Structure 1
Amino acid sequence: MDERLTYTKKEAGLYLTGLFGQNLIYNIVTAGLYYYFQNVICLPAMALGWIFAIARIWDAINDPMMGSIVDKTKSKWGKCKPYLLFAPLVVCVITCVAFLNGNYAVAKQDDNTVAMALIVAWAAASYILWGMSYTAGDVPLWGVISRMSEVEKDRANLIALARIVASIAGGLGIVSVVALSQAANKQFGESENAQKGFIVVGIAMTVIASLLFECAGLGVKERVPNSEETKTMKESFILMWKCKPFRRLMISGILRAPIQLLATVVMTLFTYYYCDGDLTNAFSNGKTFLTIVIVGGASFIGQFGATAVCPALMKKIDVKKLYNLTALSAVPMALLFVTYLIAPAELTKIGWVVIDGILLLFAGVGFGAVAVCQSVMISDCIDYEEYNSGYRPDGIFFSGQSFITKFSAGISSIISAYVYSLVGYSDVNIEKMNTAIANGASFASDFQPYSKAMWFLLTVPPAIGMAVAVLPTLKYEITTKSHSKMLEELIERHKSEKSEKA
């Protein structure tokens, strides 16, 4: 194989460094900012739900638009690299601005209607702008993988490594932004739900993550030639729908939408159910630390292990079959809620912790596998479309991956908003709960309607989503054998085109 057709180790390293930074920012916002809006400045549950829902659904629509723009881009660097060079700075500024808000609970106690409206408006505007700026970097970041190499094995390996790095950044971002912020609040001598720690830590982590994100733009090199043809935005949308295997993937991803509840609910549940409202307790109490390691670590190990072995498994099993097997992760997720129903206030006991850890381990395997398989299958769909039509839709098809994530997050926000509103987990009630817990109340025992709502959101909707998501892909058209033949012919076509131009 001609070495010019694939990336170097240095390029892969810089790409993965950038992807780590980008995913760290994503989780600072998805988990950290969500927690900040919900439990620190105490926005109303319905307002919070609809802010995230509207922003994410608009962002999901915006993704294919960005994909179309990427596909029409022609520069000396290629399609994707220009955006990777400039997006990190914009994302950094808007992420920092999102944390600089007022406190809704305080404004409501003071009966300051104007301040309440401004706080909600600031949260909505900053989050919507964040999503649009993030899209400008996210679509080309994933789309560039299929342009860095024509070697099928190298693509699959880089996608698997990217998913592993994304998981590490996700775990680090979800835990550290809340734990470090609460620790900082103590140093500042602030109350439990003060904002200063979140503002300082959120901004500091965002700046560091943005510098790492910039490494992708500096390091990547695009090798796969551009299609001479370009398409309008309308034509790009039509193309997404007409490509049958890609359409199946999109429908599958939408059906799996509730899985995004894991990202938004898990931090709040861990903080209150296991750590008595203060995540720093996990580092000062040995039993609590062991619990978090078992419960949180099990899911991470499952995801990490699945992403690591998927490239090897794909050599023996069709990626379609591997993807469809992820439906089995619905079983352990559903059983997690059963354990709560059996012992609603006792899941912190070591026996239940071990049982839940085992269930999360097997669920994590499914989550890790579906993430890798989805990216590989999208890359295969790009080759499929180029093979059949001569047009290579790198940007528009990988925008579909972002579309799935963000549309799913929007749907999940609506689900969580209604469930939280139903049980009264909102604005001043959260403030009262924080005060009660600080005075010795138990979240697991004294606030069971809240804990039940969180355990339900964390388990039941994601289980249903994982189970039904494979229905559209049962007849997925691309097999490993057919894709290998397509890719071989495409490589020969590219060589012929280069020879003709030389």
Structure 2
Amino acid sequence: MAARLPFAERLSYGFGDLGTSLAYNMASGFLLYYYTDVVRLPAAAVGTVFLVARLLDAIIDILVGIAVDRTHSRWGRTRPWFLITALPYAVVTVLVFSVPAGWSQGAQLVFAFVTFKALGLLMSSQAIPYTALMPMMTNDRHERLKLGGMRSVGTSVSVVLGTAATMPLVGLFGGGDLRHGFQAVAALFAVVGLTATAALFHFCRERFEDHASPRFAILPAVRQMLGNRAWLVCFGFCLTYFIRFGLMMSATTYFAIEVLGRPWMISVMLPAVSGMLLLSSFVAPPILARTGLRAGSTAVLAVAAALFGLLPLAENNTALFLALYFLACLATSITITAAFTMIAETVDHHEAQFGVRREGLLSAGVSLSTKVGMAVGTAGFAWLLGAVDYTPGANSETAREAIRWAYYGSAVVLLTLQTVIVLAWPTLRRPAPVPAAA
């Protein structure tokens, strides 16, 4: 039986998600709005910026994962990455929300692409080693579920700050100037993320390591990854989740304004995601420990799909609409703890199948699924806005209906697809990892 991890270490690991996700959540929730309604860039062009930038991560994420597997230092294999990237990531967070006002539209689009791409690169350089760290900290499933639950707490705080707090803080700091407000909030969040990453570096430890040679052929390693059924299921599970998540994060602002006609619900619906993540961080570990990852995830995904299907019937009843929405968010949030644990489990399955762990490479592949998923969801919605001639403050009924059914329909379809994918989760084989030398 593995020793219990110290509480300070579990807490620092969980809140390490602030370092990797806070800027990303702010960008996910408001960068499309910032580009279209503040900077006044065309929605279709912005959608292309999002998609191209994220597709480039297909190469970058794999390279970062390989680099993590080849890293050896007195701080371990993952922790040096937090030390090196923390400050640049904070700086770029501010630059993303600092598109120069006096530039031409073409120059602004180039600036948007370069800074957004830099944000993605630096996020990869933090998120991949962060995900790879969990299986190095413990090989005990119950401890991993606790770490996954604690990470869900950190994720929920990240989403609360990145969504619910953003617009009130923009108003507070901007005093009516949205450009200045967004830039000031980005700077505040950059400092919070920097502090969280520093704590992650200081408190967390690597106890289990891959004793295979750090020099390995890349293509055979990638083929092994693609031959790992657990990894393939985890990739598809996260990809479909984040396509839906990216679309809903981008669409909620427009949905609340144009469809529901209740702008105040933006500050209720977006934080509901984080609030339910916080609640699920306590209920998910015991549920999933009892049901298993496959059965538990299948059940809550089916419930979530049904609840999203009922939402259109409750649009005129705000209390009922929000009750159904909160329950749906709780159900989908339980799958986040499952996903964090599944990622760690793929490493054990890989070692049993191929004799090597490759934490960095496997984490890179899953990180790629999350970013491509977010890109597809965000870009798809941006293109939809362009196709229906979205105009801030002056939209047709056709545009409103497109937003309405994109919001509901995508959720039901993608949750159903995610259910089918998780049914393929295999019975895992478990090697006994050799503890790293003290």
Matched letter for residue 332 of structure 1: L
1:147 aligns with 2:140: no
1:467 aligns with 2:416: yes
1:319 aligns with 2:282: no
Matched letter for residue 463 of structure 1: V
Question: Alpha carbons of 1:299 and 1:99: their partners in 2 closer, same or farther (altered >3 Å)?
Answer: closer
Matched letter for residue 314 of structure 1: L
Unpaired stretches in structure 1, ≥5 consecutive residues: 108-113, 283-287, 341-346, 437-445
SS of corresponding position for 1:195:
helix
C-alpha separation in 2, matches of 1:275 and 1:84: 43
Question: Alpha carbons of 1:35 and 1:207: their partners in 2 closer, same or farther (altered >3 Å)?
Answer: farther
Question: Alpha carbons of 1:169 and 1:272: their partners in 2 closer, same or farther (altered >3 Å)?
Answer: farther
Structure 1 counterpart of 2:62: 64
SS of corresponding position for 1:174:
helix
CA contact (8 A) 1:252 1:472 kept: yes
CA contact (8 A) 1:375 1:401 kept: no
Question: Shift in Å at residue 237 of structure 1?
Answer: 1.9
Question: Shift in Å at residue 477 of structure 1?
Answer: 1.4
C-alpha separation in 2, matches of 1:176 and 1:238: 43
Normalization by structure 2: what TM-score?
Answer: 0.91
C-alpha separation in 2, matches of 1:233 and 1:178: 44
C-alpha separation in 1, matches of 2:401 and 2:104: 32
Structure 1 counterpart of 2:203: 219
Q: Show CA shifts across 1:79-114 (max 9, x none).
A: 1111011211111111111222134xxx7xxxxxx7
Residue in structure 2 matching 1:16, options 14, 17, 20: 14
Please identify the structure whose Cα radius of gyration is greater: 1
Structure 1 counterpart of 2:249: 263
Question: Shift in Å at residue 145 of structure 1?
Answer: 1.0
Structure 1 counterpart of 2:100: 102
Normalization by structure 1: what TM-score?
Answer: 0.80
C-alpha separation in 1, matches of 2:238 and 2:20: 21
C-alpha separation in 2, matches of 1:115 and 1:301: 40
Matched letter for residue 35 of structure 1: Y
1:203 aligns with 2:184: no
Structure 1 counterpart of 2:218: 233
SS of corresponding position for 2:213:
coil
Structure 2 counterpart of 1:251: 236
Unpaired stretches in structure 2, ≥5 consecutive residues: none
C-alpha separation in 1, matches of 2:387 and 2:289: 48
Q: How does 1:281-296 map to 2 (within 5 A)?
A: 282=264, 293=268, 295=269
Q: How does 1:109-124 map to 2 (within 5 A)?
A: 115-124=104-113
C-alpha separation in 2, matches of 1:454 and 1:219: 45
CA contact (8 A) 2:259 2:404 kept: no
State percent identity of aligned pairs.
19
C-alpha separation in 2, matches of 1:133 and 1:335: 39
Question: Alpha carbons of 1:299 and 1:248: their partners in 2 closer, same or farther (altered >3 Å)?
Answer: closer
Question: Shift in Å at residue 75 of structure 1?
Answer: 1.4
1:368 aligns with 2:317: no
Structure 2 counterpart of 1:77: 75
Structure 2 counterpart of 1:46: 44
C-alpha separation in 2, matches of 1:17 and 1:415: 31
Structure 2 counterpart of 1:343: none
Q: After alignment, is 175-184 or 127-136 more displaced?
A: 175-184
Q: After alignment, is 214-223 or 301-310 more displaced?
A: 301-310
Question: Alpha carbons of 1:303 and 1:448: their partners in 2 closer, same or farther (altered >3 Å)?
Answer: farther
CA contact (8 A) 2:18 2:192 kept: no
C-alpha separation in 1, matches of 2:194 and 2:259: 32
Matched letter for residue 333 of structure 1: F
Q: RMSD of aligned C-alpha atoms?
A: 2.6
Question: Shift in Å at residue 122 of structure 1?
Answer: 0.6
